Each structure stands twice: as C-alpha cells, then as structure tokens.
Amino acid sequence: MDATGLRRRTLLTGAASLLAAQPWPQARRHAVQGYDAAQLLGIGLDATKGDVEADKVLFAAAMAAAKIDSPRGPFTLSAGHSPVQNIYLREAHGGENRVIGIAAPNLADPGTGCKLA
C-alpha cells in the first residue's frame, strides 16, 4: 500500500471507529459528515495518487463524480457541490428512533443563485 492509500485507510478507520464507539443507537450527524468528508477526500487523493497540487482539476472532478455508501444512505454531490441524499422519515417511540421510510429520495439543494449549478 502506498502512502496515499495508507493515509486514506487511516482517515477512514478513524472515522469508522468514531462511529462504532458511540453509545447512541444511531450515528450522529457530525460524525457521519466527517466520515463522508473523509470518503470524498480519499476519492480525490486516489485520483491524483496523493499529489493534489499536480492536478487540482482532477481532484475536484473525482470528488464531484463520487458515489458514496454513507451511513446516511447513498450520497453524491450536486452540480453546486451540495449533498444529494435521501431524507428519511423517522419515528421516535419508546426511546427508539427508527427509520420508517424515505420522505424525499435523492433530495438536492437547487443551488438557486449558485454559479456552479
């Protein structure tokens, strides 16, 4: 494994450990966002073989095209670089917070006013 692969593995292992070590039954929002960010960075680093400075366009393009299997469900980025994700319908009952369906599949911020979108 090269240095880039080792860095990515360390990032993802740390994020996964953080998620697994939580005393809560569901992953917390900030931990999941950190995990997703580590996934995106890893994909960009893999595409550039760890040399982001050599090809920033490739780094950004790889992250923009990424499809991540996130703890929050399938995750991609919109043209405006906002998350595209399912919004889940949850029910809290008896101290348990359960997913009971998908309220909005593949929801994306329309990027109104964003020059990237």
Question: At 58, phi and psi to the nearest 5?
Answer: -65, -40
Token digits of residue 78 = 């919109």
- Nearest-CA neighbor of 32 among 78, 83, 81? 83
Q: How confident is the model at residue 23 (pLDDT cuts 50, 70, 90)?
A: very low
Does the pTM surpass 0.85? The reply is no
Residue 91 to residue 61: CA distance in whole angstroms? 38
Please write the tens of the pLDDT for every residue from 65-110: 999 998 888 999 998 888 999 988 888 888 888 888 999 999 998 8
Could you tell me which CATH number the domain at 3-108 has? 3.40.50.2300
Residue 89 to residue 73: CA distance in whole angstroms? 13
Please enumerate in sequence order all residues whose Cβ is within 8 A of that of 66, keeping only pairs 6 or more positions apart, or say none: 39, 40, 43, 76, 77
Give the bridge partners for 83, in sequence order. 77
The one-character DSSP state at 49 is T
